[in-house]
Amino acid sequence: MKLTGAQILMEVFGEEGVDTIFGYPGGVVIDIYDQLVKTEIRHVMVRHEQGAVHAADGYARASGKVGVCLVTSGPGATNTVTGIASAYLDSIPLVVVTGQVPTHLIGNDAFQEVDIVGITRPCTKHNYLVKDTADLARVIREAFLIARSGRPGPVLIDIPKDVTNGRADFRPGETVQIKSYNPTYQPNKRQLRKVLDAFASAKKPVILAGGGIISSGAADELTAFARRLRVPVTGTLMGLGAFPGSDPLWLGMIGMHGTYRANMSVGDCDLLMAVGARFDDRVTGKIETFARNAKIIHIDIDPTSLRKTIAVAMPVVGDCRASMTALNAMIEDDLVARAVAGRDDWQGQIDTWKATTPLAYNQTDTIKPQYVVEKLFELTGGKAIITTEVGQNQMWAAQYYHFDRPGHFITSGGLGCMGFGLPAAIGAQTACPDKVVVDVAGDGSIQMNIQEMATAVQYRLPVKVVILNNGYLGMVRQWQELFYDRRYACTRMDHAPDFAKLAEAYGAVGLRAERPEEVETILRQGLETQGPVIMDFRVEKEECVYPMVPAGADITDMLLS
């Protein structure tokens, strides 16, 4: 049967199980929107295209599906780039559909024309400019396949208006294969045997869990492996929730603002197994001294990540879940006995590091931001989905909210994108309407995409925003305090809005706490209120995030206070 390009797009979306699209309409996608409203697919209209990509990102992480967004050409397309780059660095599966001017006008500087394929080539897993309606169905199917398989990532499809309006034969239910694209899912069994032999002989092993554990659904398999061999586990920022934060084997987050026990354990271990992590510079610190005493195992589905940054003794190419499943199946009782023997000194050393209190703080007559996050954890029972903005708020959320489940910590890890948290919370709330979703924000970053509060109100999405309001761009101010003699150049957030009144202006509920004794009351009220809420906590202005590893230092060289 012959269908228009817009109809083909909707048909393939249906085949791919798309139930939600985040978008913003415009001239060259008007025909797509005309077809969209005839389907059962839910459309969430954001207030800025960057918000659409972040919302699709939050939706993908919370649901485990591919996030989808739809925008127009020109400025609509360019506004998506920051969100695409964030998803690319964090390996989040997205399909981003952009409109384009008619094919005969491409290259003529037509109204709202931009080469979005060229612009996004460095920050997409793949992208397409569709020039023939007959190719559209295949391209869309390929885009979903590429986005969700292997190491996930964003794929962009640029569709000119004449391709949208053109007609072509459509055959439903066809499958696609890409001969040049065949990710390796099953690991080499001989390599896995070497991995187990290494654990059998190691006296001071540590597991490093990355975001790949979460994206591959390998949290249960990793947890079973660590518990059976009694191996302590640390995690990257993206790996929080991959291993239960309440488990005695949990060391906390590693890296620049990681826990003392995690950084010291990796610095002193004799075997480090990294699973689904890419050894980001915020994790490794000084590369030359990272895990200097350890034999390093690296398991990842992306072969280009292996030995890219860190010298690895045992690389394993394979899906994290498939690899951990295979490892668990190969473990025998005698290997367990050998592995756990002689580890008492190592466990004792870890217990000594755990006994230190670098995350301790003194609650004075001014609200400490750590106290707000701790109370939020207590009142939600650790079951909320937490999104964050970027900066001090992000680090305090990672340090003081303890994640027992994958998919419950959603943050812009690789790009560090301010303005991420609120639209990501909208996406997560759309995916999980029965869960509590909270955006932990700063007074600087929340203003990057505050307009999305209108989206939350329009669609009755009960997201809660907790603003740790210190009147500064806090993380930059912290660096200025520690390394620039307190010259606070351009980091004061003067003339910030009254966030409680701003919430009311959007039709939401606004609350404020200025004293420590008000924190629990305001959090309870905000969490129990129906609909979206902004809670403004006026916190200690010059509070710093500790521990902190100075740039270029070894991760064991921490500033503790």
Looking up tokens 């109100």 gives 457
Catalytic residue among 15, 112, 295, 518: 112
Dihedral over alpha carbons 548, 490, 444, 252 (to 10 degrees) = 0
Q: Are 97 and 10 in contact (CB under 8 A)?
A: no
| Torsional sign, CA 410, 416, 421, 425 | negative
- Do 253 and 300 lie in one domain? The reply is yes
- Do 374 and 507 lie in one domain? The reply is yes
Q: Report d(CA 521, CA 527) in Å as an integer.
A: 10
In total, how many domains does the chain have?
3
Residue type, 244: P
- CATH number for 427: 3.40.50.970
Annotation marks residue 161 as catalytic: yes
Q: Are 381 and 526 in contact (CB under 8 A)?
A: no
Annotation marks residue 111 as catalytic: yes
Antiparallel, parallel or unpaired: β 167-169 and 2-4: antiparallel
Q: Report d(CA 148, CA 68) in Å as an integer.
A: 12
Q: Report d(CA 101, CA 235) in Å as an integer.
A: 45
From the list 242, 434, 428, 248, the residue with the least C-alpha distance to 324 is: 242
From the list 32, 30, 301, 302, the residue with the least C-alpha distance to 140 is: 32
Structure tokens given for 125: 């897993």
| Count of C-beta atoms within a 10 Å radius of residue 176 | 14
Catalytic residue among 2, 111, 186, 332: 111
- Do 132 and 51 lie in one domain? The reply is yes
- Do 442 and 524 lie in one domain? The reply is yes
Antiparallel, parallel or unpaired: β 385-388 and 154-160: unpaired
519-528 helix and 369-380 helix, angle to the nearest 10 degrees: 40
Annotation marks residue 542 as catalytic: no
| Count of C-beta atoms within a 10 Å radius of residue 108 | 10
- Do 88 and 218 lie in one domain? The reply is no
| Count of C-beta atoms within a 10 Å radius of residue 153 | 23
- Do 285 and 250 lie in one domain? The reply is yes
Backbone angles phi, psi at 540, to 5 degrees: -50, 125
Q: Are 55 and 423 in contact (CB under 8 A)?
A: yes
Bridge partners (DSSP) listed for residue 20? 42
Single residue among 137, 169, 201 that ends a domain in this structure: 169
Looking up tokens 């897993």 gives 125
pLDDT score for 358: 82
Angle at 452 between CA 500 and CA 57, to 5 degrees: 130
- Do 200 and 294 lie in one domain? The reply is yes
Single residue among 355, 387, 406 that ends a domain in this structure: 355
Single residue among 325, 355, 385 that ends a domain in this structure: 355
Give, for all 561 residues of the chain, the pLDDT tens digit.
Answer: 899 999 999 999 999 999 999 999 999 999 999 999 999 999 999 999 999 999 999 999 999 999 999 999 999 999 999 999 999 999 999 999 999 999 999 999 999 999 999 999 999 999 999 999 999 999 999 999 999 999 999 999 999 999 999 999 999 999 999 999 999 999 999 999 999 999 999 999 999 999 999 999 999 999 999 999 999 999 999 999 999 999 999 999 999 999 999 999 999 999 999 999 999 999 999 999 999 999 999 999 999 999 899 999 999 999 999 999 999 999 999 999 999 998 999 999 999 999 988 888 988 999 999 999 999 999 999 999 999 999 999 999 999 999 999 999 999 999 999 999 999 999 999 999 999 999 999 999 999 999 999 999 999 999 999 999 999 999 999 999 999 999 999 999 988 899 999 999 999 999 999 999 999 999 999 999 999 999 999 999 999 999 999 999 999 999 998
470-496 pLDDT, tens digit each = 999 999 999 999 999 999 999 999 888
pLDDT score for 357: 82
Q: Report d(CA 9, CA 7) in Å as an integer.
A: 5
What domain range is 378 assigned to?
369-538
- CATH number for 243: 3.40.50.1220
Q: Report d(CA 134, CA 166) in Å as an integer.
A: 9
Look at residue 551 and give its three-state secondary structure: coil
409-456 pLDDT, tens digit each = 999 999 999 999 999 999 999 999 999 999 999 999 999 999 999 999
Residues near 78 by beta carbon (within 8 Å), at least 6 away in sequence: 114, 116, 119
Q: Radius of gyration (Cα) for the chain, nearest Å? A: 24
Q: What is the side-by-side order of every strand in the sheet holding 205-209?
A: 250-253, 233-235, 205-209, 271-275, 295-300, 314-317
| Torsional sign, CA 231, 295, 152, 427 | positive
Any domain includes 360: no
- Do 250 and 101 lie in one domain? The reply is no
Any domain includes 59: yes
Structure tokens given for 62: 């919370």
Any domain includes 548: no
Q: Report d(CA 20, CA 56) in Å as an integer.
A: 9
- Do 239 and 156 lie in one domain? The reply is no
Catalytic residue among 161, 354, 368, 464: 161
Any domain includes 78: yes
Any domain includes 386: yes
- Do 328 and 376 lie in one domain? The reply is no
Any domain includes 302: yes
Beta strand segments in 6-77, E: 20-23, 42-45, 67-71
Antiparallel, parallel or unpaired: β 233-235 and 250-253: parallel
Catalytic residue among 475, 535, 548, 558: 475
Q: Are 372 and 468 in contact (CB under 8 A)?
A: yes
Any domain includes 547: no
Catalytic residue among 11, 16, 49, 389: 49
Q: Report d(CA 162, CA 31) in Å as an integer.
A: 10
Q: To which H or E segment does residue 383 belong?
A: none
Q: Report d(CA 530, CA 460) in Å as an integer.
A: 9
Q: Report d(CA 391, CA 444) in Å as an integer.
A: 9
Q: Report d(CA 70, CA 171) in Å as an integer.
A: 23
- Do 322 and 463 lie in one domain? The reply is no
230-262 pLDDT, tens digit each = 999 999 999 999 999 999 999 999 999 999 999
- Do 227 and 115 lie in one domain? The reply is no
Any domain includes 348: yes
